[in-house]
Structure 1
Amino acid sequence: EFFLTYRLNQDVLENLFSVIRQRGGYNRNPTARTFRTSFRINCVKNLIAPPVHGNCEPDDSSVLETCASSPGISIINAEDTIVQNNVMTDDVSSASDTHSVASSPDSDDGTPTLESCAEVYLAGYIGKRIVDKYKCDICEGTFLKPVGSLLDGKDELMLVYKTFESKTPTITSLRAPTPLLISICKTVLNVFSKKFPST
């Protein structure tokens, strides 16, 4: 709706090209492929990185503390989720207790969070390492989606931005995990966070 004409100033464009030329070492004349990759990495980096200096003050209010007790938010037992994933163990059942849906990375409104995207990326990395180490076709079919399958899930955003070779998807080292592997990794992360709480 708004077009910021000051962004078309020569100084801003020169700064952008300067950043792209310096990406990965000095490159005076980047190719179109290098430019595209550097521009994509720079955009993702600037979107994910929080600002260092902002014009806001620390929020000392207690509004967020009262959100957990509001009637619109339901409480889910973590043990039920673990039983549904068929990964029930004694350590898991003793570590599970109730948690709020508000603190869950999977929000009901369908928008992915950075945490859920990172969990999917981690699950894909773990699945790829398992397949590379054991060379098992059954494991590959169980834990990873087929090579060249579309990355259409909202939580697969980090995989989409890291897959630079869109023309030849067979040479990329990244693989998309199946929902089973994602649920296993989320369960392991939940157990790990309960066993080793942050200070």
Structure 2
Amino acid sequence: MPVSKWYLFVLGFIINIDTLISMVPVLLEGQRYVLTYRFSQDHLELLYNSIRASGGWNNNPNASQFKYIFRKLMARCRVVKPCRGNVTAQDETETLPVVIDTSTSLSAVDMSSAAGGEEDLPSPFADIPALVHDHSYLPVRFNGLVDNALVYISGFVVRRALKKLSCDVCRASLVTDAASAIKDQSYHLLSLKNNGGLVIPSEGTVRVVRAAEWVIRQASASFKRSQPIKQLEVMYIVRKRIGSEDVFALGEHISET
């Protein structure tokens, strides 16, 4: 005898009720009440609606399109509840929520110290939102890929700095030779891309760029910031992190300049 679809619907409904009745007493041992709407699949359906809506006329994306749409939703840090669809949001539950570890974020002392005492400079990060409501997808620790990218960026920074420096000793402290760089895995990308015309930054230059990258990432991951981080703040905190260490190996030439 064939089983009717209506029978399966009733069976699923009964199973859900029986499961909820068995689960609620256990949940009430650690909380005061249970919101049954949180067990609904509406939140998942809202996510699917957002994915389909992001495709425009194409509401049946393939794997590549889904990957692009999902990445776009993550960059937007939340899924916007659709105004039209077969599901309506009943609460303010956010999709794709992630908790940020702010234990290593920038302190208020650093920010207040950097904000006063010197001329205020325009922020080069004005287009970057400093307040992320859901999650900052920038990793706190640098992996090999990020290190290689920072070394490559450091070469560009050095090329710009060399145009403004006239001191030969200072210019030499910003670069290194290819033989020394090839021993460091962080220079692997630069070595692959270099056909003889790229600038190879010194270890001290890379350390400064790494410190600046850390400051920007920490500021971007902070919920407490309401304004984009300013260039003056980055400079102040980078100097504080490096301290009096002679990262460029200038020796006595520091006092001469």
* Higher normalized helix content (fraction of residues): 1
Q: If the length of structure 2 is used for normalisation, what is the TM-score?
A: 0.33
Larger Rg: 2
Between 1 and 2, higher relative CO (CA 8 Å, sep ≥ 6) is seen in 2
